[in-house]
Amino acid sequence: MNDPRLRRLFALGLVLIGLGLVTSVAIILYIRNRPAQVGFPRVGTKMASFRMPDLQGKQVSLADYKGKSVLINAWATWCPPCQAEMPMLVNYAKQNPNGPVILAIDAGETPDLASAFAQQYGMTFPILMDNNSRFLDSILVDSLPTTILVGPDGIVRAVHVGGMDEAIFTAEILAKIPQ
């Protein structure tokens, strides 16, 4: 290998092999760490399971509420429609302690922001922290707020994307609660 052109060609080959290995490792790590695409919740299908911390760090899962109807509300503090509908959800929870369990899933914010919002609106139901929105991304929720009613059997009964007023909440969500 005394020929300088051959040495350069060999070095270039080693660099290209190294770049190929680094790229392969990066792709493998990306694929392994991205959330699985479960699909958007559809009425009549089983709701995707989840486990995430609440504001106190306790792990909460949908399975914890097996046998009960669960109202999942995906929201964020910066979202005006979320801010507008939250008093209605808080009021509903207070007036219907035996109604569906409400789980408020914060879309990737800090516990401090979510806690301040919860105090401001008087939220007494569990607030779950979806770190980096991994769960919401996995079920393809890309609009906030999104509300999902899950029956006691784990089957999705209703889905509403966007803010709700009392009329929409009553017609599209409450009317679908299994008796």
Nearest-5° angle of CA 165, CA 167, CA 171? Answer: 120
- What is the spatial distance between Cα 112 and Cα 7, in angstroms, rounded to a whole number? 58
What letters, b where the CB count within 10 A reaches 16 and e where it falls short, cover 131-145? eebebbbbbebeebb
* Claim to verify: residue 141 and residue 74 sit in the same structural domain: yes
State which residues form the domain around 120: 51-176
* Claim to verify: residue 105 and residue 140 sit in the same structural domain: yes
Inside any domain, residue 45: no
At 162, which CATH number? Answer: 3.40.30.10
The number of distinct structural domains making up the chain is 2
Q: Are the beta carbons of 155 and 44 closer than 8 angstroms?
A: yes
Question: CA quadruple 178, 124, 113, 84: dihedral positive or negative?
Answer: positive
pLDDT at 33: 53
Quick: pLDDT tens for 110-152: 999 999 999 999 999 999 999 888 999 999 998 999 999 999 9
**pLDDT 10s per residue in the chain (179 long)?**
678 787 887 777 777 787 777 776 666 665 555 545 568 899 999 999 999 999 999 999 999 999 999 999 999 999 999 999 999 999 999 999 999 999 999 999 999 999 999 999 999 999 999 988 899 999 999 899 999 999 999 999 999 999 999 999 999 999 999 87
Inside any domain, residue 44: no
Tell me the three state secondary structure of residue 57: coil
* Claim to verify: residue 27 and residue 56 sit in the same structural domain: no
* Claim to verify: residue 66 and residue 129 sit in the same structural domain: yes
